[in-house]
Structure formats: C-alpha cells, structure tokens
C-alpha cells in the first residue's frame, strides 16, 4: 500500500476542521436536463478518479505527520449519493438542500469527498452538489477541477493526462521551485533587495494587524449554515460600467458588497464600522494544467472595506485606491508560507494560529473565473455554478462571485447563529451594482 506525505499547508487545512466550521469546499452545478446516473458515474471515474489520486486515497494522521494512503478496493459508489428535491424544486429548495449538507463531517475512514446528484430541479433538471475537503486542494483549484470534468476539451486541458505519473511531492515544493526560478530570473541585486523588503513589510503588516471591529458580522459560530446565490448578472453590462468608471469588474463588485455590508450593519448594529475581508489569491499559474497532487497553492490578502462611505462613487474610488495599494504586495506569498509553518506546529499551536488570524477579518470574499462558454457534463448543458470555501476559525460569513458563460453569480455562505439574512446581503449586493451602473454618465 503506497503512502505520500501531506504537504504542511494541506495538513494545516486538515486540522482546521471544526464542528462549527467544516473545512470543506462546497460547489453546486445545475442543469435544465437530468443527468443519467450511469453516465455521470463513468465521467467521474474517468476524469476524476483516474486523473487525481487524492480522490482514491484516505488520510492517515500520525503523531508527527500526515499521509495520503491508497485505498484498497476503492469503490466510487461509496462517495455518490442521490436525492430528489421537494416541490416546487426551485432555487430555494436547492439552496436548502445544499445548506443542510454543510454541517455534516466527511468520513475520515474514506477519501475526503462526496457528490450528490439531485433530481427534480425546476421540473426536468437536476443539480450536482460536490463536497471536497480543503486539504485536497484550495477552492480555486477545485473550481478548475470541476470544470475539467465537463465535455469541453479546452476545460479538460486544465487536468493532466491520466497516464502521467503522480509524484509524491508537495505543492509547497513546486511553488518554492517556481519562486526560486523567479528570483534567479531577476538577477539584479537591487531588485532582489526590493523583493526582500516587500516580503518584510508584508510580514510586519500581517503581524501588526489588530483584531477587526466587533460588529454583527462577528459572533460565535454554530453548526447550522446557509447558502444562497443570485440569478446571473450579465458580465458585459458590468464590464461596460467598469470601463466607464475606469475600474475593474472586481473593484465594482467589491464596492457593491461593501455597500450591502454597510446596509446590513446599519440595520443590525445601528451604526457602521469599517470591516476587514480576507481574500484568497491564487498562486498557481492559470496557463498550466493542475498537478496530479493538487494541494493548496494560494495566499491571503487582508482588505479593509470602506463601509463608512455612503456615496457609491466615493466608495468605489476608495476601494480602487486600497486594492491598488495591495496590488504588488508580497502578503499572499507570506501568508502561504505562514500556513505551511502552521501545518508543522503541534495541534494546539495550529488552532491558536488559526484563531489569531481569523480575528483579523470579519468575512471571506472569493472571486473565481469560470468558463466563458457554456459547457456540458455527460452531454447535458451546465446552466449555472457557484461555490464557496469554508470559513476558518471563528469566521461566520463568506461572499463569492463566479463568472460563467457571460453571467456573474453572487453567493453567500453564512453561519445561522451569526448572520440573520444572507439572502438580503446577496440582494443588496445586486442593488448596489445597479446603483453603480446607473451612476455611469452615459446611462443617465
């Protein structure tokens, strides 16, 4: 039986698993037509199990290290589940179905993933709800992986060929080699010093960040969670508005989310404070296929959202100023290295580090670029998709944006004991986007 040592950053995510915050990446795909269960199973066997060994390996957590171990007589059927939505089987019922799964732990005696094929969606359609432990890979990589399961050969190129060998080397090693190559490419001493200074500044900034403001966004998480998402918003319309404001679509959406959070705190607290969001930043090149080992290759940026600014255009300008200031930050790489260090600590030390850094923010915000073209899975057109990373430590809110086939979907994952109405947050984000679009001079 073969074993492979787990990378420290992945081990850190394994040990972040808590009863009140499962360290599981949840994704949903929905379809207008029903998937044939046999065809779906065959696709997963060929494009998931055969390509990525982690999905047929269990975790063995020893005293001083964590290992991936091949499962003898692996059965894909142990990870596939089937359900039918209650009438009327619309988005609300699908959201409740996905929400009910969030508190469930994955079986540690088996590979840490499961998928649910859910029938009865809007009559003749269906949905796939996938749950994969964060120790397998980060949310951005798992989103790419889910798209690689589709029938589109361009999306499949995100995965390596099935006959390419899996090397027992951690993603941290691969990233380190890339980083070293990048440093060697920049041979000039002045530039090397510049990189070192940027790293030192980022390290000091992370260490010096105080706990975030105590607002209604922070609390004591429970086990129950809820997920909600919007109807697709046309990306081209957002691009037009962003171009008119001389900003990016990402800045536009961050500003809208800040406006929605401002309204939420005004309702719940009666006053508004700035809050800090933690934003995952991909460190893996998007023009390269995913490594067969998968793993976590992302860093974190802490971005203070200007909630105290009421005027949407002034808020947009301030969001742009702050994101631009962080553009060349070494913070993502530094936080990735800290995560690797955390994975080498004893369990009590790991938990203390996780709690320390989770106090520095009030929510997680993710941005994933999906396929620009409609894609098919097992011959059925994917109508929409959304996904969320878990909230670590004591965080109780995650906001997500994902683009797919010309539409942008906004989603929220909220702890029921902390956030009262995540659906209102999503709806208010959409309203704030409409305010920003209406503020474009040519639209008046």
What the chain holds in terms of domains, given with CATH numbers, is 3-156 (3.30.559.10), 171-369+389-443 (3.30.559.30)
Q: Which residues contact 225 (CB under 8 A, 6 or more apart)?
A: 99, 102, 103, 413, 414, 415, 416
Mean pLDDT, the chain, rounded, equals 88
State the pTM of this model: 0.88
| Predicted pLDDT at 402 | 96
CA 393 to each of CA 110, 280, 396: distance values in angstroms, whole numbers, following the listed order: 25, 15, 9
**How far apart are alpha carbons 96 and 93 in whole angstroms?**
5
Q: Give the pair of three-digit tokens for residue 151.
A: 């029938």
More confident residue, 188 or 73: 73
> 215: which DSSP letter?
-
More confident residue, 351 or 16: 16
pLDDT at 163 over 50: no
pLDDT at 170 over 60: no
pLDDT at 311 over 80: yes
pLDDT at 153 over 70: yes
**How far apart are alpha carbons 217 and 229 in whole angstroms?**
19
Q: Give the pair of three-digit tokens for residue 379.
A: 């011959």
pLDDT at 110 over 90: yes
What is the residue-wise DSSP string for 115-145?
EEEEEEETTTEEEEEEEEETTTB-HHHHHHH
More confident residue, 186 or 143: 143
| Predicted pLDDT at 204 | 74
Of 432, 143, 421, 104, nearest to 280 (Cα)? Answer: 143
414 backbone dihedrals φ, ψ, rounded to 5° = -130, 145
Of 131, 124, 121, 120, nearest to 81 (Cα)? Answer: 131
CA 41 to each of CA 36, 144, 320, 443: distance values in angstroms, whole numbers, following the listed order: 9, 19, 45, 49
> 164: which DSSP letter?
S
Per-residue confidence at 294, pLDDT binned at 50, 70, 90?
A: very high
> 419: which DSSP letter?
-
More confident residue, 84 or 64: 84
The region of weakest confidence among 13-22, 44-53, 325-334 is: 325-334
Per-residue confidence at 168, pLDDT binned at 50, 70, 90?
A: very low
Mean predicted confidence (pLDDT) in 313-326: 94
The region of weakest confidence among 76-85, 163-172, 307-316 is: 163-172
**How far apart are alpha carbons 336 and 107 in whole angstroms?**
27
| Predicted pLDDT at 191 | 62
In the block, residue with structure tokens 């120790």: 135
**Tens-digit pLDDT profile for residues 262-277:** 999 999 999 999 999 9
More confident residue, 206 or 403: 403
| Predicted pLDDT at 98 | 98
| Predicted pLDDT at 190 | 63
Per-residue confidence at 348, pLDDT binned at 50, 70, 90?
A: confident
**How far apart are alpha carbons 277 and 301 in whole angstroms?**
8
pLDDT at 174 over 70: no
In the block, residue with structure tokens 């619309």: 90
| Predicted pLDDT at 106 | 96
**Tens-digit pLDDT profile for residues 34-76:** 999 999 999 999 999 999 999 999 999 987 889 999 999 999 9
| Predicted pLDDT at 384 | 96
pLDDT at 173 over 60: no
Alpha helix segments (H runs only) across 246-380: 249-268, 312-325, 331-342, 347-358
> 212: which DSSP letter?
P
Classify 413 as helix, strand or coil. strand
Given a contact cutoff of 8 angstroms between Cβ atoms, the answer to whether 329 and 301 are in contact is yes
Residue 406: which region, alpha, beta or left (left: phi > 0; alpha: psi -120 to 50)? left
Given a contact cutoff of 8 angstroms between Cβ atoms, the answer to whether 97 and 121 are in contact is no
The region of weakest confidence among 52-61, 156-165, 229-238, 403-412 is: 156-165
Length of the chain: 444
Per-residue confidence at 356, pLDDT binned at 50, 70, 90?
A: confident
User: Which long-range contacts does 318-327 make (Cβ < 8 Å, 24+ apart)?
Assistant: 319/251, 319/254, 319/255, 319/258, 320/247, 320/251, 323/250, 323/251, 323/254, 326/301
**Tens-digit pLDDT profile for residues 193-243:** 666 777 777 777 777 788 999 999 999 999 999 999 999 999 999 999 999
Given a contact cutoff of 8 angstroms between Cβ atoms, the answer to whether 106 and 265 are in contact is no
**How far apart are alpha carbons 323 and 290 in whole angstroms?**
28
């Amino acid at each position: 039986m073969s074993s492979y040592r787990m990378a420290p950053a992945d081990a850190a995510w394994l040990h972040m698993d808590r009863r009140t915050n499962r360290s599981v990446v949840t994704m949903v795909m929905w379809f207008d037509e029903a998937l044939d269960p046999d065809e779906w199973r065959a696709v997963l066997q060929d494009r998931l199990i055969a390509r990525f060994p982690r999905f047929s390996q269990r975790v063995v957590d020893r005293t001083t290290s964590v290992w991936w171990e091949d499962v003898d007589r692996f059965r894909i059927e142990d990870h596939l589940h089937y359900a039918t939505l209650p009438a009327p089987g619309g988005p609300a019922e699908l959201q409740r179905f996905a929400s009910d799964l969030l508190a469930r732990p994955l079986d540690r005696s088996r590979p840490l993933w499961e998928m649910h094929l859910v029938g009865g969606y809007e009559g003749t359609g269906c949905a796939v709800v996938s749950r994969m432990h964060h120790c397998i890979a980060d949310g951005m990589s798992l989103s790419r992986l889910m798209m690689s399961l589709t029938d589109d050969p361009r999306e499949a190129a995100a995965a390596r060929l099935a006959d390419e060998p899996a090397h027992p080397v951690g993603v941290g090693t691969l990233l380190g080699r890339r980083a070293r190559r990048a440093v060697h490419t920049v041979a000039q001493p002045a530039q090397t010093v510049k990189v070192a200074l940027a790293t030192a500044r980022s390290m000091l900034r992370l260490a010096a960040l105080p706990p975030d403001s105590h607002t209604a966004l922070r609390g004591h998480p429970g086990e129950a969670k809820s997920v909600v998402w919007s109807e697709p918003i046309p990306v081209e319309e957002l691009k037009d508005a962003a171009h008119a404001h001389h900003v990016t679509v990402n800045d536009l959406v961050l500003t809208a989310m800040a406006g929605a959070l401002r309204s939420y705190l005004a309702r719940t607290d009666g006053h508004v404070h700035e809050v800090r969001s933690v934003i995952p930043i991909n460190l893996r090149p998007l023009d390269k296929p995913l490594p067969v080992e998968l793993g976590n290759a992302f860093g974190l940026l802490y971005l203070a959202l200007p909630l105290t600014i009421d005027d949407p255009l002034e808020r947009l300008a301030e969001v742009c100023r702050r994101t631009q200031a962080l553009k060349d930050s070494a913070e993502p790489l530094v936080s990735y290295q800290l995560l690797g260090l955390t994975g080498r600590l004893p369990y009590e030390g790991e938990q203390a580090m996780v709690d320390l850094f989770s106090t520095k923010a009030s929510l997680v915000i993710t941005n994933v670029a999906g396929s620009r073209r409609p894609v098919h899975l097992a011959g059925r057109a994917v109508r929409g998709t959304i996904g969320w990373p878990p909230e670590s430590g004591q965080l109780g809110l995650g906001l997500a944006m994902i683009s797919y086939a010309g539409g942008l979907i906004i989603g929220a994952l909220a702890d029921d004991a902390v956030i009262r109405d995540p659906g209102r947050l999503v709806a208010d984000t959409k309203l704030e986007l409409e305010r920003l679009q209406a503020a474009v001079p040519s639209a008046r």
